[in-house]
Every structure is written in C-alpha cells, then in structure tokens.
A = this chain, B = another copy of it.
C-alpha cells in the first residue's frame, strides 16, 4: 500500500489497515482477520470514523465496571493486539488486571507470536512516562500486568473444540471480561456463565453486539484510548445500562450518515 500523507483525512483508518496487513504477513492473524477488519472499516466509515456520544457513554460504563469488578480480565485476539495492544496494556496497568490472549482459531504459532508481541508492547509501554493522572510507579504497574493465554487449563462451558480453551486465572475465573472483537458464539457462552461481557464491535447488528452486557460500537484503537482516560478517572454512573438503546443510537447514526451523504 502506498505511503499515506500526514494530512490525509482518513489517515487513521489507512494506518490501521496497514497494521492489519503487516500483522497478517507476520502470521499473527486468523485467515479471515483481514476480512473482518474490512467489515469494520465499512461500518466505521458510516459512523464518520469518530466516537459517537453513545459509544462514549458505553466506554464510561465499561470503565466503571472494569474498575469495580472483582476479577476483571482483558481478552485480546490478533486484531486487537495489532491495533490496540499498547493501549490495552495501559488500561490493564491502571485497572490492575491481566490480559489474556484468547483466539477463536487457536494455533501454537499464533499464540506464541501474539504472546511475544504483547510482551514487547509491555516493555515499550513500561518505558513511557505514564499518564499524568496515574498515581504510583507507572513502570512497575505496567511490568506487573500479567499476559496469560499460554496455558490453556480451562474450558468455557457450552463451546466445542479449541475455541473453548482459556486460562483459569484469566477468563476462567473472571467476573468481567473486556473482549474487543469477539465471536458471537463465545460471547453467548460467556454470558451464560453469568459473567459480565463488555465488547467493542463496529457492527451494532452483530450477534456479539446484541448479546453483550455492554457494547462499545467504536473502532478498537480509538475506543481503547478513550477507555484509558476513563479508567484513570472513573465516574459514578447511575441506573441500569440499556444496551439496546445504545445499539439503536449507533444505528441511527449510521442511518443519518447515509442520508446526509
């Protein structure tokens, strides 16, 4: 793909695309990961490639849930690690939770590639100055983020085959899972186990989006940056979360965008 000039109005989208292409070349992604990314691109395009107000509310809600959960975990697949791995490590450092590499199409090569990638990203984030609102030793907080997934010592009830595998210390015993870009079947299985499942999904009509406890309809790297601000300063949120209302709002946004264009 050609170089994208700094001034290009769709620079973020094109640079995310390049990260996905590079990740695929490095063997970090599932066969269909690029196709999934393209679907997301189309929805993001229709959303105007920015975080909507209802997505901001969802991010705020997830921040509150993450910081008040007993055993939260952030589950990442290849696309998430490639697009938003460093941001997710920052969020995990603030929340004090582990990150679990958990793949729908699990292979030893992809597992070890992604564990290494997240390890490198953690090293790099640990060298940063850290966010100004963070109280404590940033480098230590980052280094103490556990990266799980290597040991598949637990099975998610209700799923068959390798896609059921996870880590007991991560998803297995978690009460809340933040799982960007999840598959519908697995989202359903985790919900059936009584866990809170927070997802980031650009398609407000996907089964995952409709199934989750809280759905952030936003591009994963943009959402992860906002999520970091929110977990640094979680606000009290009142009342029940109406996920259907949030999805309807996203759909309205897409629909309005189409009418405007």
Binding site for B on A (CB under 8 A): 1, 17, 20-21, 24-25, 31-32, 34-43, 45, 203, 205, 251, 254-255, 258-259, 261
> When the two chains form the complex, which single residue of B31, B38, B251, B258 contacts A261, counting CB atoms closer than 8 Å?
B251
In the complex, the count of this chain's copies comes to 2
In the bound complex, residues from chain B placing their C-beta under 8 Å from that of A17 are 32, 35
Q: Is the interface of A mostly helix, strand, loop or mixed?
A: helix
A21 proximity list for chain B (CB < 8 A): 31-32, 35
Nearest 10 pairs between A and B by C-beta? A38-B38, A42-B42, A34-B34, A35-B38, A39-B42, A38-B39, A255-B258, A21-B31, A34-B35, A255-B255
- Contact between chains at A32 and B255 (CB < 8 Å): no
Q: How far is the CB of A242 from chain B (nearest CB, A)?
A: 17
Residue in B closest to A30 when the chains form the complex, CB atoms: B1
Considering only CB atoms, which chain B residue lies closest to A256 in the complex?
B255
Question: Knowing that A35-B41, A39-B41, A40-B42 are A-B contacts, what are 19 other residue pairs whose CB atoms are under 8 Å apart, sorted by A's residue number?
Answer: A17-B32, A17-B35, A20-B35, A21-B35, A25-B31, A32-B34, A34-B34, A34-B35, A35-B37, A35-B38, A37-B38, A38-B40, A38-B41, A39-B45, A41-B42, A42-B203, A45-B205, A251-B258, A254-B258
- Chain B residues with Cβ below 8 Å from A37 are 35, 38
Complex Cα distance, B45 from A205, in Å, reads 10
CB distance from A13 to the nearest CB of B (A): 10
Complex Cα distance, B42 from A45, in Å, reads 11
Measured CB to CB, the closest approach of chain B to A219, in angstroms, equals: 13
CA of A251 to CA of B31, assembled, Å: 31
- A255 CA to B257 CA in the complex, in Å? 9
For residue A90, give the distance in angstroms from its CB to the closest CB of chain B. 27
A205 in contact with B261 given A21-B31, A32-B1, A255-B255 (CB within 8 Å)? yes
Q: List 14 A-B contacts (CB under 8 A).
A: A1-B32, A32-B34, A34-B35, A37-B38, A38-B38, A38-B41, A39-B45, A42-B43, A42-B203, A45-B205, A205-B261, A251-B258, A255-B258, A258-B258
Chain B: CB-nearest residue to A29: B34
Point out the residues of chain B lying under 8 angstroms from A259, CB to CB.
Answer: 251, 255
**Nearest chain B CB to A11's CB is how many angstroms away?**
16
Q: How far is the CB of A246 from chain B (nearest CB, A)?
A: 15
